[in-house]
Amino acid sequence: MRITDARTLVCSPGRNFVTLLIETDRGLRGYGDATLNGRELAVASYLDDHVLPLLIGRDATEIEDIWHSLYKGAYWRRGPVTMTAIGAVDVALWDLKGKLLDTPVYNLLGGRARRGVTVYGHANGSTIDGAIAAARGYIDMGYRAVRLQSGLPGLEQPYGVGRGDLYYEPAAPDHPIEETFEPGPYLRGVPQLFERARAELGWEVELLHDAHHRLTPREAAQLGKALEPYQLFWLEDPVPAEAQESLRLVRHHTVTPIAIGEVFNTIQDAHQLIGEQLLDYIRTTVAHAGGLTHLQRIAHLAELYHVRTACHGPTDLSPVNLGAALHFQTAVHNFGLQEYMRHPEEAHEVFRVGYWLEEGMLHVSDSPGLGVEVDEERAADFPYQRAYLPVARRWDGTVHSW
Ligand code: EZ4
Ligand code: CO
């Protein structure tokens, strides 16, 4: 099966997405997601200007060889732009292989290992009451796990509180929104949020929280300890994870489970954390970590150390990525939990999906490939609009990690 055409499609149905389309001489078309939120066109250019010309004429079934020729052949290894571009090619090739062999992608990854993929929803509110009401909405829809983010006394614009409680979206057109962070109100407020949540939502539902890279290791240890009575499923990105040895301090002081790695893009970013068992859940996802081919390697390493998979699944990755993540999570042995931030309605007019939510799990269909098709004509109705992720500042104006 030879590749005859490859092109990117940039559209904005509710938010920006970069999609890769690969066509073959067998009349089949494969899709990959190449969206890197806030830096979308850098990946589109990496693909259009440098990668796609190399694919024409190649045998689309040689996934492993194409992966290594793009990774090793570029000389300049790793990094979010490179790895997202390679990931998009890789996913499109798995989609094509499934379509060629007339089987869903999870079958190619080892076969079904569970009934469905348990997901968590993102419940947010500008107040603790608002976040708890949003969480109740998810529980009523059958979700078994919910992440709680809310405004707190003295901290009105924290991470994760967005427009609407079902369709959180951090990116804004033209200029970054400014959020605030201050460790005092945050460290005092989050335990109050979870004390209230347990009192009002009970103990059946799994609760999570995202610290979004904002704490020092000592602060993270303090928060993890303070949250222990509420038994979180995980505390997400407690510290920026570039300094991986920081996690030793956090780990020595708390048994609150830790999830890290949504901004990682290779196994090298994760191998110390996994090898030293400094985390419980690895957040790398398909699109940003070199596709299914590379994510499988990360998951297999993680399995050796009792670390489970927890793919990042925000609205800023397209349904093509979510479809790929669901096939992966359906087949991988050491599955943990899948993030599911619902896409805006317009996105589903462009991306027609075969997955569905039932009993708090997402289920993939048995259609060949990924089971996600892209309507190019409809995509043309939603032109790209430059958008930026927020910037966070301390109370005195100092820039902080967003
Ligand atoms: O901030 O996807 O767990 N989810 C997250 C997301 C990320 C965005 C960045 O584009 O942390 O909301
Ligand atoms: Co996160």
d(CA 160, CA 329): 25
The answer as to whether 388 is a domain residue is: no
d(CA 154, CA 142): 33
Cβ(124)–Cβ(59) below 8 Å: no
Predicted pLDDT of residue 259: 98
Name the residue with the closest Cα to ligand 1, atom 8: 314
Cα→Cα distances 104→32, 47, 96, 230, 355, Å: 15, 26, 10, 39, 12
d(CA 93, CA 99): 10
Record the pTM.
0.97
Same domain, 216 and 128: yes
Predicted pLDDT of residue 104: 98
Predicted pLDDT of residue 183: 98
d(CA 307, CA 147): 20
Q: Sheet of 17-24: strands edge to edge?
A: 3-11, 17-24, 29-33
Task: Look up residue 290 and give its two tokens.
Answer: 């070199």
| Per-residue model confidence as pLDDT tens digits over 116-132 | 999 999 999 999 999 99
| In the block, residue with structure tokens 């928060």 | 223
Cβ(225)–Cβ(249) below 8 Å: no
| Domain C-terminal end among 57, 75, 103 | 103
Same domain, 193 and 159: yes
CA of 341 to the centre of ligand 1 (A): 10
Predicted pLDDT of residue 165: 60
CA of 105 to the centre of ligand 1 (A): 26
Can you spell out the DSSP letters for 353-393?
A: E--EEETTEEE---SSBTSEEE-HHHHTTS----EE--EEE
212 is annotated as an active-site residue:
yes
Of 159, 209, 312, best ligand 1 pocket probe by most atoms within 8 Å of the beta carbon: 312
Cβ(258)–Cβ(285) below 8 Å: no
CA of 260 to the centre of ligand 2 (A): 8
The answer as to whether 400 is a domain residue is: no
The answer as to whether 399 is a domain residue is: no
Same domain, 270 and 355: yes
Identify residues whose C-beta is under 5 A from ligand 2, the ion.
Answer: 210, 236
- The enclosing domain of 245 has a CATH number of 3.20.20.120
Same domain, 265 and 347: yes
Same domain, 181 and 288: yes
Same domain, 144 and 290: yes
Can you spell out the DSSP letters for 216-232?
A: -HHHHHHHHHHHGGG--
The answer as to whether 392 is a domain residue is: no
Count of domains observed in the chain: 2
Predicted pLDDT of residue 243: 87
Name the residue with the closest Cα to ligand 1, atom 12: 314
d(CA 188, CA 209): 14
Find the catalytic residue in 122, 209, 212, 288.
212
Cβ(292)–Cβ(286) below 8 Å: yes
Which ligand lies nearest to the CA atom of residue 37 in the structure?
1
Same domain, 25 and 87: yes
Find all residues with CB under 8 Å of 48, minimum gap 6, and list them: 7, 8
The answer as to whether 42 is a domain residue is: yes
d(CA 385, CA 309): 33
Same domain, 217 and 130: yes
d(CA 34, CA 261): 18
Name the residue with the closest Cα to ligand 1, atom 11: 212
Predicted pLDDT of residue 167: 76
| Domain C-terminal end among 103, 135, 170 | 103
The answer as to whether 209 is a domain residue is: yes
Predicted pLDDT of residue 164: 66
Atom of ligand 1 nearest to the CA of 402: 1
Q: Which domain holds residue 153?
A: 117-369
The answer as to whether 38 is a domain residue is: yes
Atom of ligand 1 nearest to the CA of 168: 12
- The enclosing domain of 72 has a CATH number of 3.30.390.10
Find all residues with CB under 8 Å of 276, minimum gap 6, and list them: 244, 247, 248
* Longest pairwise C-alpha distance within the chain: 61
d(CA 396, CA 242): 25
Find the catalytic residue in 106, 138, 143, 159.
159
Same domain, 131 and 221: yes
Same domain, 126 and 188: yes
Which ligand lies nearest to the CA atom of residue 288 in the structure?
1
Name the residue with the closest Cα to ligand 1, atom 10: 37
104 φ/ψ sector (left φ>0, alpha ψ -120 to 50, else beta): beta
| Domain C-terminal end among 81, 103, 125 | 103
Pairing mode of beta strands 234-236, 172-173: unpaired
Atom of ligand 1 nearest to the CA of 212: 11
d(CA 82, CA 349): 29
The ligand 1 site (C-beta within 6 Å) comprises 37, 170, 210, 212, 262, 312, 314, 316, 339, 389
Nearest Cα to Cα of residue 88 among 292, 298, 351, 263: 292
The answer as to whether 395 is a domain residue is: no
Cβ(282)–Cβ(322) below 8 Å: no
CA of 389 to the centre of ligand 1 (A): 9
Predicted pLDDT of residue 162: 79
Same domain, 165 and 90: no
Which ligand lies nearest to the CA atom of residue 236 in the structure?
2
Q: Write out residues in the chain with pLDDT < 70, as ranges.
A: 163-166
167 is annotated as an active-site residue:
no
Same domain, 244 and 331: yes
Name the residue with the closest Cα to ligand 1, atom 2: 314
CA of 80 to the centre of ligand 1 (A): 14
User: What's 341's DSSP letter?
Assistant: P
